[in-house]
Structure 1
Amino acid sequence: MSKNGLVVDGEGWFIVNARESRWKDEGPLGLYCTFEGKRRFPHFGINITVLEPGERIGMYHREKAQEAFLVLAGACTLIVEGKERQLVAWDFFYCAPETEHIIVASGQQSAVVLAVGARGRGVGGGIIYTVCKAAGRYGASVVRETTEPAVAYAKVWAELPRSKFVKYRRGWLSEDD
């Protein structure tokens, strides 16, 4: 148990409720729960992300690993291969390796998104943050292509507090909790 919620760092199976787990506040990149402690899951990453209107899951990018996203609540704009697509609750987006993409919460509505990604991004070149005009309209594009997260997220990270861990707050996952 951390001061901000449950953290599991052991091996073997476990059960933890997202509302009891530790969350991270990434400012304009939303709030998310990874269910992980210092020891990351070896084969895949998984998180629940809560986005307020206009917040985005990250910066427009492509990577060597596959990812998948399921919108659990609300509405999002998916920018995939430079084109905008609208997603609503229960829409599923499978993202094959090398597919450029990003998700942004739409207009006046928040969104809750389940994201799963294969580990091993460093294999064969990892992640590349690319320039995209459509993503740029949402503040989700880099100015110049880079493979460095510190460059891609420099402005966002500079404006965040040193510790971004927070406790779950009532209402993030549903109105009736």
Structure 2
Amino acid sequence: MTDGEGWFVVNACESRWRDDGTLGSYCTFEGKRRFPHFGININVLGPGEALGMYHRENAQEAFLVLAGECTLIVEGKRRPLATWDFFYCAPGTEHVIVATSEQNAIVLAVGARGRGVGGGVVYRVSKEAARHGASVERETTSSAEAYAEAHADLPRSRWVPYREGWLPSDR
């Protein structure tokens, strides 16, 4: 990973990882400076862990399930996702992905940056997402408020080294 301009190559096992407790772990591929135009993460979700809280935002996102099975909750409806299923999320689409298999699910997530003032994210109430512990109790635009309950009994998200077994074929 790099904090400078230009190109670089890094193996996911050697990149920066973040442990987010009940919201899984993820590799950002970024250094201290974020990529200016898009974010890209490999997310490792344990059974029942969600890739965030049910929300919509002003930027497009895309998700590819690399391993495992998940439930996509999109616009209030459930849809199963399995390995190699791709979900394109247009701006304004309410969604969340939850791992549902007995083993870890691995999801590649890509999202555009530059959402405007406040990030343009709205965390929405969803009965379906609440069944999976992935809904706020009341609508908010504050990520701190949206994730307060999910992290109430956990330490804050932290940078960690890659853990063997997170990805199917370690180097």
**Scaled by the length of structure 1, what TM-score is found?**
0.91
Q: Which residue of 2 aligns with 1:36?
A: 30
Deviations 1:24-49 (Å, cap 9, x if unpaired)?
00011100000112210000000000
Give the secondary structure class of the aligned counterpart of 1:153. Answer: helix
Alignment partners' CA distance in 1, 2:156 and 2:109: 25
The answer on whether the counterparts of 2:20 and 2:156 sit within 8 Å (CA) in structure 1 is no
Task: Give the superposition deviation at 1:110.
Answer: 1.7
Letter in 2 for 1:89: T
Runs of 4+ in 1 over 4 A off after TM superposition: none
Alignment partners' CA distance in 1, 2:118 and 2:147: 22
The equivalent position to 1:18 in structure 2, one of 12, 17, 41, is: 12
Task: Give the superposition deviation at 1:170.
Answer: 1.1
Alpha carbons of 1:125 and 1:119: their partners in 2 closer, same or farther (altered >3 Å)? closer
Letter in 2 for 1:127: V
**Number of equivalent positions:** 171
1:118 aligns with 2:87: no
1:51-62 aligned within 5 A: 51-62=45-56
Letter in 2 for 1:25: D
Alignment partners' CA distance in 2, 1:68 and 1:145: 23
**Scaled by the length of structure 2, what TM-score is found?**
0.94
Alignment partners' CA distance in 2, 1:103 and 1:129: 14
Alignment partners' CA distance in 2, 1:38 and 1:20: 15
> Tell me, which stretches of 5 or more residues in structure 2 are unaligned?
none
Identity in percent: 73
Q: Which residue of 1 aligns with 2:94?
A: 100
> Tell me, which stretches of 5 or more residues in structure 1 are unaligned?
1-6
Q: Which residue of 2 aligns with 1:4?
A: none
Q: Which residue of 1 aligns with 2:164?
A: 170
Q: Which residue of 2 aligns with 1:142?
A: 136
Deviations 1:102-160 (Å, cap 9, x if unpaired)?
00000423200000000012359600000000000000000000000000001223333
Q: Which moved more, 1:69-78 or 1:103-112?
A: 103-112
